């Protein structure tokens, strides 16, 4: 941890201009060999980003590195889950089938983050239903340039427009047996990814804010508070993403971070340059994305802990 703390406190706080997603990726990739821990990579990637969108992209890629450590660090990845009916396990209609002559995957994903830039796709697919009628999901690794793969770019979002998104169509795409990751695709990968992503995106945002605070001359106590929140979130990123206790503490950590960003930092944006101010005014809505999902996850975790302890609160 000391290496990344020293980086956040001493690295020049004048980020290079990242004029494209390719420029961002080259910078992020260069950091991957220096920071082997995914949380530190998210913090450092956020710190060196010249805008929140690229900080988010670094956090997103670092989350993949955390949950899928065997993936090559020199190739961009995208998790492909959301379909026309959503990302709930029962909504997954993409199919992985054994044709007798090999495995094939077919289906549509409606919203793939970094989709048009991704080289490797982590595709959630169903093998069929179990005895209870539930989807049996697997995680399948697919090369984005393989025959039958089509990525259609989507319109820019109104916030962090630098991060591309795409719709993915898979038409009878060949899959090697070793490209089907072991275990339950939902329990081992899709479900924990939501928590892993929250931690790493928050870390990247905090890294970016620490850089903005340093170059804009924000008060020491505010910058140190952001640094302390980063240390807390780093610890949470190493906790079991499936544990109810992790979700309860993460709920508190996200609330503390949001309060610090929206209250403590709010009066200080006037001291930043105009471009950074304008981007923040546009991109700050990222803080509320998936808020309802997080709230539901927190309530469920609290209830399970209460039920297990036999307490009412």
3-class secondary structure, 72: coil
How does pLDDT run across 90-118, given as a tens digit for each residue? 999 999 999 999 999 999 999 999 999 99
Could you tell me the pTM of the whole model? 0.96
How does pLDDT run across 214-247, given as a tens digit for each residue? 999 999 999 999 999 999 999 999 999 999 999 9
Q: How far is CA 43 from CA 96, 124, 148, 210, in A?
A: 36, 28, 36, 10
- Residue 309 confidence (pLDDT): 87
How does pLDDT run across 133-189, given as a tens digit for each residue? 899 999 999 999 999 999 999 999 999 999 999 999 999 999 999 999 999 999 999
List the alpha helices (DSSP H) in 217-237: 220-237
Question: Rounded CA gap, 89 and 186, in Å?
Answer: 7
pLDDT at 313 over 60: no
Q: Which two tokens stand for residue 258?
A: 């949001």
Contact 67, 193 (CB under 8 A): yes
Question: Rounded CA gap, 201 and 61, in Å?
Answer: 9
Sequential DSSP letters for 254-304 = HHHHHHIIIIISGGGGGGS-HHHHHHHHHHGGGGGTTHHHHHHHHHHHHHH
Q: How far is CA 188 from CA 49, 194, 281, 289, in A?
A: 31, 11, 37, 24
Domain assignments of the chain as residue spans, ordered by start: 2-67+189-309, 77-180
- Residue 82 confidence (pLDDT): 97
Q: Match 């450092």 to its residue by tokens.
A: 44
pLDDT at 311 over 70: no
Contact 222, 264 (CB under 8 A): yes
How does pLDDT run across 260-286, given as a tens digit for each residue? 999 999 999 999 999 999 999 999 999
Contact 244, 305 (CB under 8 A): yes
Report the relative pairing of strands 149-153 and 135-143 from DSSP bridges: unpaired
**Using a CB cutoff of 8 Å and minimum separation of 24, what contacts does 259-263 make?**
260/225, 260/226, 260/229, 261/205, 261/209, 261/287, 262/287
Contact 163, 129 (CB under 8 A): no
pLDDT at 205 over 60: yes
Angle of helix 220-237 relative to helix 191-216, nearest 10 degrees, comes to: 160
Q: Identify the band that residue 310 occupies on the pLDDT scale cut at 50, 70 and 90.
A: confident
Report the relative pairing of strands 120-129 and 77-80 from DSSP bridges: parallel
Question: Rounded CA gap, 106 and 122, in Å?
Answer: 13
Burial of 297: CB neighbours in 10 Å, binned 0-12, 13-18, 19+ = buried
Question: Rounded CA gap, 119 and 151, in Å?
Answer: 11
Question: Rounded CA gap, 168 and 110, in Å?
Answer: 6
- Residue 312 confidence (pLDDT): 56
Yes or no: domain 77-180 corresponds to CATH 2.40.110.10? yes
How does pLDDT run across 295-307, given as a tens digit for each residue? 999 999 999 999 9
Torsion of CA 36, 251, 247, 164, to 10 degrees: -50
């Amino acid at each position: 941890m000391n290496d990344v703390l020293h980086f956040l406190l001493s690295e020049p706080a004048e980020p290079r201009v990242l004029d494209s997603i390719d420029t961002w990726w080259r910078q992020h990739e260069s950091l991957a060999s220096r920071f082997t821990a995914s949380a530190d990579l998210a913090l450092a990637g956020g710190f060196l980003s010249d805008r929140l969108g690229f900080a988010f992209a670094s956090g997103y890629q670092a989350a993949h590195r955390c949950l899928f450590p065997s993936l090559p660090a020199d190739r961009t990845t995208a998790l492909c889950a959301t379909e026309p009916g959503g990302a709930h396990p029962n909504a997954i209609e993409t199919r992985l089938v054994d044709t007798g002559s090999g495995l094939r995957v077919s289906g549509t994903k409606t919203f793939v983050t970094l989709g048009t830039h991704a080289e490797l796709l982590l595709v959630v697919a169903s093998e069929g239903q179990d005895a209870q009628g539930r989807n049996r999901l697997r995680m399948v690794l697919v090369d984005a340039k393989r025959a039958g793969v089509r990525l259609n770019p989507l319109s820019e979002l109104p916030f962090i427009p630098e991060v591309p998104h795409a719709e993915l169509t898979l038409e009878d795409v060949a899959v090697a047996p070793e490209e089907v990751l072991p275990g339950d695709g939902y329990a081992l990968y899709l479900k924990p990814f939501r928590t892993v992503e929250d931690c790493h995106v928050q870390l990247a945002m905090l890294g970016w804010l620490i850089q903005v605070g340093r170059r804009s001359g924000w008060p020491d106590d505010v910058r140190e508070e952001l640094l302390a929140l980063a240390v807390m979130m780093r610890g949470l990123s190493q906790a079991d993403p499936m544990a109810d206790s992790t979700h309860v503490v993460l709920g508190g950590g996200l609330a503390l971070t949001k309060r610090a960003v929206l209250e403590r930092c709010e009066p200080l944006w006037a001291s930043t340059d105009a471009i950074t101010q304008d981007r923040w005014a546009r991109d700050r809505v990222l803080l509320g994305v998936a808020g309802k999902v997080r709230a539901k996850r927190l309530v469920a975790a609290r209830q399970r802990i209460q039920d297990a302890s036999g307490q009412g609160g």
